[in-house]
Amino acid sequence: MFNITNPKNVQLVSLPPEKVFDYEEGFGQKQYHERGRLGDKMEKMDGTLISTFLHGRTSNEQVLRIKSKQSLTSNQVLEATQLLVGM
């Protein structure tokens, strides 16, 4: 996600987290995992990727916002925002 408020000074403001490999992916790449050795195990729910970013022109105005991969206003984003800030 980019801040395009000033077209002459476009800024990167949000990146998704690194890919999380499923158990059967990435074998032979020690930076991910070795067969038979699990760390944390989590259930994959709906596959929606949610990330956070700060919205506001100055540090005094900035508020934490949530976005999905393609939307600032999807149902998942709105529900996550309610959980985060109790709206």
In this predicted model, what pLDDT tens digit does every residue of 27-63 receive, in sequence order? 555 555 566 666 666 666 666 678 888 888 788 888 8
How would you label 22-42 residue by residue, b for 16+ Cβ within 10 Å and e otherwise? eeeeeeeeeeeeeeeeeeeee
Q: pTM to 2 decimals?
A: 0.49
The distance from CA 13 to its chain's CA centroid, rounded to whole angstroms, is 12
In a domain, 75, yes or no: yes
The pLDDT value given to residue 12 = 83
Domains of the chain: total? 1
In a domain, 56, yes or no: yes
Q: Is the pLDDT of residue 25 over 70?
A: no
Q: Is the pLDDT of residue 77 over 80?
A: yes
Which residues are 67's β-sheet partners?
Answer: 51
In a domain, 71, yes or no: yes
In a domain, 85, yes or no: yes
> Which residue segment(s) compose the domain that 79 sits in?
45-87
CA angle, 7 then 15 then 46, to 5°: 125
Q: What is the mean pLDDT of the chain?
A: 76
